[in-house]
Amino acid sequence: MTASLSNDAIARLLERHGRLLVVAGESAFRARAFERAAESVRLYPEPLARLAERGELTSIPGVGEGIAYAISQILATGAFPAHEELTRRIPESVVELTAIPGVGAKTALKLYSTLGIDSLDALESALEAGEIARTMALSARMAETVRAGLAAIRRRTGRTPLGAARPVAEAFLAAFSRARPQDRIALAGSARRWEVTIGDLDFVIASDDIDDTVAALAEIPMLEGQARSGAGEVTGQLPGGIRADITITSPAAWGSALARATGSAAHLERLGGIPDGLASEEAVYVTFGLPWIPPELRAGGQEFARWREIPELVTIDAINGEFHAHTTWSDGGASIVDMARAAASRGYTLLGITDHSQSLGVAGGLNSERLAAQRLEIDAADMTAGVKLLAGAEVEVHRDGTLDYDDETLAALDVVVASLHTGLRQPREELMARLERVLRNPHVDIIAHPSGRLIERREGGDFDWDRAFAIAAETGTALEINADPARLDLDPTLAERASAAGCLITVNCDAHSTSGFAVMEYGVAMARKAWLKPEQILNCWPRERILEWLAARGRSSS
């Protein structure tokens, strides 16, 4: 048995198999099962080899008998038969092609089957040789998509998205706390500051016995390749290939070490140097005549001029509801009733049910007839849900700026959330004409994830933001901070500019399951980085005020 295989290595193989299943056109359910299992395996606190020896692999969330068998084969041989059979048909490297914006699984398979392109390098060579443009099945338009996509990949930072890094950090914090409950540990660095991407993960540990703490770190399965670079400095690698930099200090110097390790460099420079030997961060800031400054605001600029505003900034407790949630009627994983109960359990008083409209066929979007049928279910659930339900829709914006439903259908909804999922590579003037048409549509209440970006996967559209914000402020259309860690859109810089221009902001999870509401902490962190207060955020308002706002926009919600 290859018991030396880490959980992360096993997860990577399961994940690659799931993605290759998508390229091969296999069952989407089966592909997603492997990806879900990979998510559970990657951060599982115990080595899978031990579970396999006890016959307990199916105790891992998302791991059924079939995937448990695959894991046992991986542990025994480093591979499993289904994956070996699949890779005989399609090389694993073909999955690389789907990283290109505009190249989906079907196109990747076509590139491989037609031209034998099995990697990004092979794709670039074929592009430069003119093979893609000359191939009738692919066309010159595809060649331009590939060229633009390769250029976009080259512009990526190579950093880890916050949404991938923080769960790893939280799992490591929990694992260390179980191993050394007598020590104190905290996340530091860019992840603690809620930066959208991170280079590595930083931690600070307070310990009375550094050598014992270092020995305990060596026993944590998820931290691989540990190296001690100094008396209190340890490095290693966490799942996902993320480097961990760990500082171990005495409890008496905890505050000084944590402030230094948190940064940012610009913030520390403005402070003028952290004194040694301070036990708390509060004591650090007292030495500079300042209150404790939350990590997400430590950018090296406004926090020193606006620190008196910090107590007024939005907190997660101020969120009163959400306008953007999906159910099993489109691509969600929970019923209307279950989503409502989950929202009520968070103390929300209002929830918008906004499944996709018909043009987003990949998400099972609703046509007008299904939308009307869903309305009946929403109205019935509203009677007992414990939260006011709004019958809405996430309505697709066409390339000319028209919407997926006619005016009569839109007017009948309680809330309309408009989204641009396609055509984001249009020239700026075309994009802006399209967005302006949506913003001036009297039936549209909210623009979801306005830039359309997917962090480190897809760049946002080239919008004229000053013009967009001016129109949104004029029409009163709310702009979303989408809390999905893959999006975080609007980003804090744009959200701050939007609010300064007079735009109303809303923070939504875009939840596709009952657990999806948990990412609100990401959205609130982005809003705080934008220096937003509850009054500036629509879903911090009392429910009656929200309903009055909706009614004033031409519809009623009683």
CATH code for position 274: 3.30.460.10
Q: Which residues partner with 332 through β-bridges?
A: none
User: CA dist 431 to 422, 423, 437, 465, Å?
Assistant: 11, 8, 10, 11
Strand, coil or helix: what is 343? helix
Residues 374 and 348 in one domain: yes
For residue 301, is it within any domain? no
For residue 264, whether the previous peptide bond is cis, meaning omega lies within 30 degrees of 0, is yes
Q: How many Å apart are CA 18 and CA 27, to the nearest integer?
A: 10
216: its two tokens: 């305990």
Residues 414 and 447 in one domain: yes
Considering 119, 135, 155, which residue would you say is the last residue of a domain?
155
For residue 20, is it within any domain? yes
71: its two tokens: 């894991």
For residue 309, is it within any domain? no
User: CA dist 210 to 174, 181, 214, Å?
Assistant: 19, 14, 6
176: its two tokens: 């260390």
Residues 29 and 80 in one domain: yes
Q: How many Å apart are CA 438 and CA 423, to the nearest integer?
A: 14
Q: Which residue has the tokens 């310990």?
A: 207
Q: Which residues partner with 397 through β-bridges?
A: 403
For residue 302, is it within any domain? no
Residues 58 and 122 in one domain: no
**CB contact at 8 A, 480 and 490:** yes
**CB contact at 8 A, 555 and 413:** yes
Into how many domains does the chain fold? Answer: 4
Considering 57, 90, 123, which residue would you say is the last residue of a domain?
90
113: its two tokens: 């089957």
- Quick one: CA torsion of 116, 121, 126, 129, rounded to 10 degrees? -150
Residues 458 and 330 in one domain: yes
Residues 423 and 532 in one domain: yes
Q: Which residue has the tokens 């200090």?
A: 249
Q: How many residues does the chain have?
A: 558
Task: Tell me the chain's radius of gyration from C-alpha atoms.
Answer: 25
Nearest to 509 by CA among 294, 352, 335, 371: 352
Residues 86 and 193 in one domain: no
Residues in Cβ contact with 351 at an 8 Å cutoff, skipping those fewer than 6 apart = 321, 322, 325, 339, 340, 343, 385, 387, 388, 389, 390
User: CA dist 500 to 6, 86, 469, 529, 533, Å?
Assistant: 49, 53, 9, 14, 12
Residues 370 and 484 in one domain: yes
Residues 144 and 261 in one domain: no
**CB contact at 8 A, 119 and 38:** no
For residue 297, is it within any domain? no
Q: How many Å apart are CA 18 and CA 255, to the nearest integer?
A: 44
For residue 139, is it within any domain? yes
CATH number for the domain spanning 503: value is 3.20.20.140
Averages of pLDDT over runs of 10 residues in the chain (558 residues) are 78 95 90 93 93 95 95 95 95 93 89 93 93 82 88 91 97 97 98 97 97 95 90 94 97 97 97 94 96 98 96 98 96 95 96 93 86 96 94 95 94 96 92 97 97 94 97 98 97 98 98 96 98 98 97 66
CATH number for the domain spanning 72: value is 1.10.150.110
Considering 155, 177, 207, which residue would you say is the last residue of a domain?
155
For residue 310, is it within any domain? no
| 180 torsion bin: left (phi>0), alpha (psi -120 to 50), beta (else) | beta
CATH number for the domain spanning 149: value is 1.10.150.20
- Quick one: CA torsion of 507, 512, 513, 517, rounded to 10 degrees? -10
pLDDT of residue 554: 66
For residue 169, is it within any domain? yes
For residue 313, whether the previous peptide bond is cis, meaning omega lies within 30 degrees of 0, is no
Q: What is the DSSP string of 133-200?
A: HH-TTTHHHHHHHHHHHHHHHHH---PEEHHHHHHHHHHHHHHHHHH-TTSEEEEEHHHHTT-SEESS
Q: How many Å apart are CA 408 and CA 416, to the nearest integer?
A: 12
What is the extent of the structural domain holding 98?
93-155
Residues 63 and 143 in one domain: no
Residues 122 and 186 in one domain: no
Helix pair 105-115, 120-128: axis angle to 10 deg: 60
Q: Are strands 201-206 and 242-249 parallel, antiparallel or unpaired?
A: parallel
Q: Which residue has the tokens 């949104």?
A: 472
Q: How many Å apart are CA 550 and CA 477, to the nearest integer?
A: 11
Q: What is the DSSP string of 447-491?
A: E-STT--BTTTBPPP---HHHHHHHHHHHT-EEEEE--TTT-BS-
pLDDT of residue 360: 76
Report pTM. Answer: 0.93
Burial class of residue 46 (count of CB atoms within 10 Å of its CB; 0-12, 13-18, 19+): middle
